[in-house]
Amino acid sequence: MSNQTGRESPGRHSKPARSGNQTDIRLNRRSFLEAIGFAAASAGALSILPGCGGMGQMAGVQKKRPNIIFFFTDDQRFDTIGALGNKNIITPNMDWLVRNGTTFTNAYIMGSMSGAVCMPSRAMLMTGRTLFHLEGTGKVIRPEHVTLPEVLQRAGYTTFQTGKWHQDSKTFARCFSAADKIFFGGMSDHYKVPVRDFDPAGKYPKEKIYSDEGKHSSELFSDAAIRFLREYKDDKPFFVYISYTAPHDPRDMPQKYLDMYDLEKIVLPKSFMPEHPFDNGDMKTRDEKLASWPRTPEKIRRHKRAYYAMITHVDVQIGRVLAALKETGQAENTIIVFSADNGLAVGRHGLMGKQNIYEHSVHVPLIIGGPGIGKGQKRDAFCYLLDIFPTLCELTGLSIPGSVEGRSLAPVILGRRRKIRDTLFFAFKDIHRGVRDERYKLIEYAVSGKRTTQLFDLQSDPWEVDNIAESPNHVEHLQRLRRELLRWKEEMDDKSEFWQDPTTWG
């Protein structure tokens, strides 16, 4: 059995994803359920979920488990929501989510071992597993790696998906009991998305692919979710996973959304650079070719304008889904999650894509709202997308499978703990490794036999432009974070070639 109460036996290569001197923060199950709105009739009235190996539905619960709607965008950076401080973007519905939920201001992805950053990101989200404990680069999810929708199905949920699915079709089949407009892929023309209809038998041959040409992907997937909500008549709770492909390029959207932004008023970031200051090992990837070199203010303003317009367009679609949820009378008993699979540079540090571990690429938005969850609250606890899985388990009163390595954010949501990690670890391919604490961030590069070090004081320099790695005043911080990076290497089972040069890390 796992050494964490309430978990199943861990899956292959599973180990708790903890940092340093952290302590177990799991709450008493009964007090937690009562805190979020469940009420138990009697103290031992518990039953076991078939196949879940832990505490299940509480007999005598006076209120059914909450529904869940999960909005997941593609390539949306953490600082692209008006209510979180960006006065230059129009996001009224995301702003509403902020006002009506708890926002995690330090939510991150762990990274990727391939250029398709969103693929392992989504695998970590669905499995709660860490980067080096996925199967390969995250395209395929192993059967023993239990997914969030599987746990919810076992607890009686109807699990519905629409939009992007970047993993294998076999895993999709075991995750969802309903779906519509399924996109098996990474990116597509937003007006010609190759989708499939749901097949209860789990068969998704290529000849079944079709396209609803002329309808934007964000509208297509929102329409599917709205149909499901309006037509759903079952007494069972539902999990609706809406996985948008926006604001991923190509940056297309209805013209009126582009017209909302004056090109001349687009503000360039403080980290804008014509080119990256050194070879980071991935300078010519597909994403980087979206704009020619050197990057100019005019080019970046155009890209940023379109990026913002796509976010505003998807924001409107989110609002449509929220309106449909309210129409059905289900809003008061629904947990709403909003997040994104990774960020994007769009001109910062001379980069365009997400194939790096700067803040703009690994820092993502995360908002959780619903019954028993504080409104308009902010939490600065370090967390990963892989923590959403165990968090939703606790918020719905379900056991966390032993294959899950993430840590529940429920105690943080309820204000009973301030943090669940002391530091965060980041990785990209065999060339970038990084770690950050509450103030400083270290990034190490190993490219063609050359090592480059960056150290940033995120308190005074959140844009990561002032490298203080050579400063004699920061030697202690540099050495401390290097030790922490090595500790994470061992904890994450990171055996990549990045660490091969003994003189580099001796």
146-176 residue pLDDT tens: 999 999 999 999 999 999 999 899 999 999 9
pLDDT recorded at residue 147: 98
Per-domain boundaries in the chain: 29-413, 430-505
Work out the angle between the directed axes of helices 388-395 and 118-127 (0-180°, nearest 10): 30
Rounded mean pLDDT, 473-477: 97
Angle at 497 between CA 496 and CA 502, to 5 degrees: 115
CA 278 to CA 447: how far, in whole Å? 10
CA dist list (Å): 469 to 258, 325, 436, 474? 41, 50, 14, 7
Please give the backbone phi and psi of residue 213, each rounded to the nearest 5 degrees, phi first: -60, 140
Indicate whether 32 pLDDT > 60. Answer: no
- On the question of pLDDT at 25 being above 80, the answer is no
pLDDT in tens, 78-133: 999 999 999 999 999 999 999 999 999 999 999 999 999 999 999 999 999 999 99
User: Does residue 218 surpass a pLDDT of 60?
Assistant: yes
Give CA separation, 455 vs 434, 442, 458, 502, in Å. Answer: 10, 5, 9, 21
Dig out the tokens for 445 from the structure: 């590069």
6 pLDDT tier (thresholds 50, 70, 90) = very low
| 10 prior amide bond cis, ω within 30 | no
Query: Are 286 and 114 spatial neighbours (Cβ–Cβ below 8 Å)?
Result: no
Q: CA-based angle 89:71:229, to the nearest 5?
A: 125
Where does 29-413 sit in CATH, by number?
3.40.720.10
Split at pLDDT 50, 70, 90, the class of 48 is: very low
Q: Report the predicted TM-score, pTM, of the whole model to 2 decimal places.
A: 0.90
Which letter does DSSP use for residue 114 in this model? Answer: S
Q: Check if CATH label 3.30.1120.10 holds for domain 430-505.
A: yes
pLDDT digits (tens, 9 = 90+) for 239-255: 999 999 999 999 999 99
Any idea which residue has 């008006």 for tokens?
82
Strands (E), 59-144: 67-73, 102-104, 107-108, 111-112
According to DSSP, the β-strands at 450-457 and 158-165 are: unpaired
HEC-encoded secondary structure of 333-362: HEEEEEEECCCCCCCECCCCCCCCCCHHHH
Query: 21: burial class by Cβ within 10 Å (0-12, 13-18, 19+)?
Result: exposed
